[in-house]
Amino acid sequence: MRKSDRRATSAPMLAVFSATTFSATTALVALTLATPAYAQSSEPIKIGIIAEAQAVAGVSIPQAAQLAADEINAAGGVNGRKIEIISYDDHSSAAEAVRAFQRAANEDHVNAVIASYISEVVLALEPWTGRLKTVMVTPGAASDVITQNIAKDYDNLKYTFHGYLTSTSLADQVCSAAKDLLVDGLHMKSAIVMSEDAAWTTPLDAEYVKCLPTIGLQVLDHIRVSPDTTDFTPIFNKIEGEKPDVMITGISHVGVQPTVQWKQQEVPVPMLGISSQATNSSFWNDTNGAVEGVLYQGVSGPDVAVTPKTLPFVNAFKAKFGNFPSYCGYTAYDEVYYIADAIKRGGSTDADKLVTALEQTDYVGTIGRVQFKGKDSPNPHALKVGPDTITGLMLQWQNGKQVNLWPAKVANGKLKFPKFIKVGLAN
């Protein structure tokens, strides 16, 4: 994984995006070889969406996918064929997701599936991609095991693609942001890692514990909490007693409860890290504003022009659904586009040909430049991460808005904390 200081690399990243700037209309037209009328009369390309449609983070997945399909269809479709989205709600259940995947492949005859932000769900689906020879791209699951499995059994599991960052990559981005914002900016020296006990946080926490000391943050403790936890008081009391400068978080399925109690109890330690639910603009209302001051990693965000495609998508999503997307809304939107692009380039919806075309993906989307790691990588089909591909952001909730603070080149605000936060608590 890269360890470089991204302040030195953000400019080349933007230079790449500037060189690939083109209008949304041009991008859409590039996907089509036919008129809109012909797209409506041909057999559709079916993309199944298996998502946690009632979850704070998951609800954006089917919404963003449908938006992308509507845009592609309005521009004439792909090779004269429209995109048809078929959605399934897995209710955050791996068993329900597997049944949905079987139905999608065997009954609805989808050409590809975009599935889930929960690692346990994607890991349960992964063997079925090989059994049913159906391409699956995840917009939000993070566990490194997903791509490690592909390395162990490529021929059977090559149909799985990791459309979001691995947990190790996420941890490295958090460490890089923490160095710039907290160590260099505020001279912080110590941290406690607090993560939910889940498949995706095992590699995340391992990388946290490894990379935080390298940026100057001593890890005082490492706390893993059950996703069923309803009272974080004992946990926060323990953390406050150890007097760290910051809590480095890894929370996704729990989110509202620890955030609300952090504010109610005025825990004087700032929170920075992964907070998946905080990426959704509804989280301000979900927590009654308790999220004020929380810092969270994101692949994109409102009012942040990561690429020329980011803001047009954000504005279109807001106009259609009334709020900004969660992190996996950005990725799901991009995935529909580059699946469609792969079908066009490969000239077929055949699963094996689609795999080959997806492996050659080089697509500038809303989160950066999408390219997949190769077959010989320890993490085949994981997204490449770096200054020329995807660098990520570190945003903070301020006065009801999601403000980006890092990298500095695309920052649109400055770090500030609620009054109850005591910067330099350990000193």
As given in the structure block, the two tokens for residue 78 are: 């792909």
Domains 21-165+306-370 and 168-298+392-410 share a fold: yes
Q: Can you give the pLDDT at residue 17? A: 39
Q: Can you give the pLDDT at residue 16? A: 36
Q: Can you give the pLDDT at residue 131? A: 97
Q: Can you give the pLDDT at residue 230? A: 87
User: Using one digit for the tens of pLDDT, what is the confidence trace for 261-299?
Assistant: 999 999 999 999 999 888 888 889 989 999 999 999 998
User: Using one digit for the tens of pLDDT, what is the confidence trace for 215-232?
Assistant: 999 999 999 999 888 899
Reported as a pLDDT band with limits 50, 70 and 90, residue 25 is very low
Reported as a pLDDT band with limits 50, 70 and 90, residue 255 is low
Task: Read off the pLDDT of each residue in 7-15 and give the average, rounded to a whole number.
Answer: 35
Amino acid at 110: V
**Which CATH class name applies to 21-165+306-370?**
alpha beta
Q: Can you give the pLDDT at residue 320? A: 96
Residue 304 has pLDDT above 70, yes or no: yes
Reported as a pLDDT band with limits 50, 70 and 90, residue 367 is very high
CATH H superfamily, domain 168-298+392-410: Response regulator (3.40.50.2300)
Instruction: State the Cα–Cα distance between residues 102 and 347, nearest whole angstrom.
Output: 25
User: Using one digit for the tens of pLDDT, what is the confidence trace for 144-175?
Assistant: 999 999 999 999 999 999 999 999 999 999 99
Residue 148 class from Cβ within 10 Å (0-12 exposed, 13-18 middle, 19+ buried)?
middle
Amino acid at 274: I
Q: Can you give the pLDDT at residue 20? A: 39
The domain locations on the chain are 21-165+306-370, 168-298+392-410
Instruction: State the Cα–Cα distance between residues 367 and 309, nearest whole angstrom.
Output: 9
